[in-house]
Amino acid sequence: MAWDLSGKVAFVTGAGSGIGRAVALNLAREGVAVAVADIRKANAEAVAAEIEEGGGKVLTLELDVSDSSQVNAAVAKTRAELGPIDYLANIAGIGGNALVHEISDEDWIRMISVHLNGTFFCTRAILPEMLERGSGGIACISSLHAQKGQPGAAHYSAAKAGIIGFIRAVAREVADKGIRINGIAPGPIDTPLWRGDMKGDELERHIENRTRPELVPLNRLGQPQDIADTMMWLFSGKSSYVTGQIIPVNGGELMV
């Protein structure tokens, strides 16, 4: 129990895969009861089963974070079954590649809806109970692409940059109420989203090229655990003087 979070309750979106899965498992190992929320029910159930096997307390939620009525219902269910929520991890996300003049209305709106609306809907649903109790931690996943700009992903870069503005505004609103909100801006992290359809030699070549030391000084892909460990620190009392920050976890690719 390195982080002293035992007995708390967390709501983790996108918990069925990649970074969200690593965060959910980390929290459960620390004795936190975890609501594992994901649009892909089977994946959420698989992560919940892993947590149960380890003796953890878990609730599985099939949830599309871009739908505020689903979010409100999922939060109410979590409160009823696990208790008041202490930590919110806004992680659910999708990718997409298209030049800006080729992005369809539908793809633009979906990108903003999942990342930015989803982060807002979950935060809005959970914050009142944190305010009432005068404590709570929120962590959101932004991206290196919000900071650097990613050609071929203007919608993704814009959605992730929106999350940064959101974090900073909310951080100032709630700082004197015992609540902290921060973000993490990951570089390339080895997850199903990052790999896409690549496999075999193509994947190996891409990893080598994407992580070459002149681009990524630490010369490797990030792992979901790198992000999950940073999030544990953000939720813990060890980061008690940190709010409104975007923590870069990017192998040194961008130094700001």
Residue that the structure tokens 């996300």 belong to: 93
26 binding ligand NAD? (CB under 6 A): no
Residue that the structure tokens 């010369």 belong to: 219
Q: Which of 229, 128, 133 is nearest to 186 (CA)?
A: 229
131 binding ligand NAD? (CB under 6 A): no
CA–CA separation, 36 and 50 (whole Å): 11
Mask: binding to ligand NAD, 197-236, rule CB under 6 A, as x and -?
Answer: ----------------------------------------
CA–CA separation, 227 and 240 (whole Å): 18
156 is catalytic: yes
Burial class from Cβ neighbours inside 10 Å (0-12, 13-18, 19+) for residue 115 reads buried
193 binding ligand NAD? (CB under 6 A): yes
Stretch that binds ligand NAD, among 4-12, 58-66, 208-216, 237-245 (CB under 6 A): 58-66
Q: Which of 143, 28, 49 is nearest to 96 (CA)?
A: 143
**Options 3, 121, 156, 166, the catalytic residue:** 156
Comparing CB distances to ligand NAD, the nearer of 67 and 131 is: 67
Q: Which two tokens stand for residue 102?
A: 């080729």
CA–CA separation, 102 and 66 (whole Å): 23
Stretch that binds ligand NAD, among 75-83, 91-99, 101-109, 240-248 (CB under 6 A): 91-99
114 binding ligand NAD? (CB under 6 A): yes
Q: Which residues are catalytic?
A: 156
Residues that bind ligand NAD (CB under 6 A): 13-14, 16-20, 38-40, 43, 63-66, 91-94, 114, 141, 143, 186, 188-189, 191-194
